[in-house]
Structure 1
Amino acid sequence: MMHGEHGEHDQQGRPRDGRTEEHTEEHTAGPGDAAGAPGEAAAPGDAAGLSERDRAVLAVERRGWPGPGAKERAIREQLGISPTRYYQLLNALLDDPRALAHDPVTVNRLRRVRAARRERR
């Protein structure tokens, strides 16, 4: 039996069930992933190789928050990780050129905040 004989992919390598490649990838960001929240504007730039979780972390940072409690609650509920882990991931993203290409406004703003905090130390 040859590969694709049962209709998994067409001659161009696309899934025969009509899904696009991006819909066949495994979901990694977890429940309530912020990147696709209803009413939220589309993420700026191209995803440029960032994981869904990385894009979701940047999406959380794009939002305005009434206070720290609301943001920490959203981090736990939307991303399923602790705020400590979230800030570790965010800090690494600020040094990732793919994150800068994906969302330069947010990444540059956060880099300025981080630099100002380091100067105060």
Structure 2
Amino acid sequence: MSEGAVSVGGMSEGSVSGSGLSARARAVLALERRNWSGPGAKERAIREELGLAPVRYYQLLNALLDDARALAHDPVTVNRLRRVREARRAER
């Protein structure tokens, strides 16, 4: 499957967990749980560990924030990122 054709939930490349999330979706959430020294380090990890362009990564992440399976899998991370997203939207 090509990078652009990757699904966010359970119907994508990689194994599907009991939560219904693909391996890639779980990896995106795991990357978001980590602390970063700066944006360069995070972007490098996105490219090297996930094989994604940062723009595609953030598209997948944004879709994951609206996915109930992601919330069930990692509620702390998803709720934190939802709050950040809403705060940024409110600033606009």
What TM-score do the two structures reach when normalised by structure 2?
Answer: 0.82
Identity %: 76
> Cα deviations across residues 50-73 of structure 1 (Å, max 9, x unaligned)?
000000000000000000000000
More helix by share: 2
What aligned pairs does 1:17-56 form with structure 2 within 5 A after superposition? Answer: 28=14, 47-56=18-27
- Structure 1 vs Structure 2 CA RMSD: 1.6
Aligned to 1:84: 55
Change (3 A) 1:100 1:108: same
Q: Where in structure 2 are there 5+ consecutive unaligned residues?
A: 1-12
1:56 aligned partner, one-letter code: A
Q: Where in structure 1 are there 5+ consecutive unaligned residues?
A: 1-26, 30-45
Task: Decide which structure has the larger Cα Rg and report it.
Answer: 1
How far apart are 1:28 and its partner, in Å?
A: 2.8
Select which of 23, 28, 43 maps to 1:72: 43
CA distance in 1, matches of 2:40, 2:22: 26
Structure 2 residue 80 is matched with structure 1 residue 109: yes
What TM-score do the two structures reach when normalised by structure 1?
Answer: 0.63
How far apart are 1:105 and its partner, in Å?
A: 0.1
Give the number of aligned pairs: 79
CA distance in 1, matches of 2:76, 2:18: 14
Structure 1 runs (4+) greater than 3 angstroms displaced:
none
> Cα deviations across residues 24-59 of structure 1 (Å, max 9, x unaligned)?
xxx738xxxxxxxxxxxxxxxx75100000000000
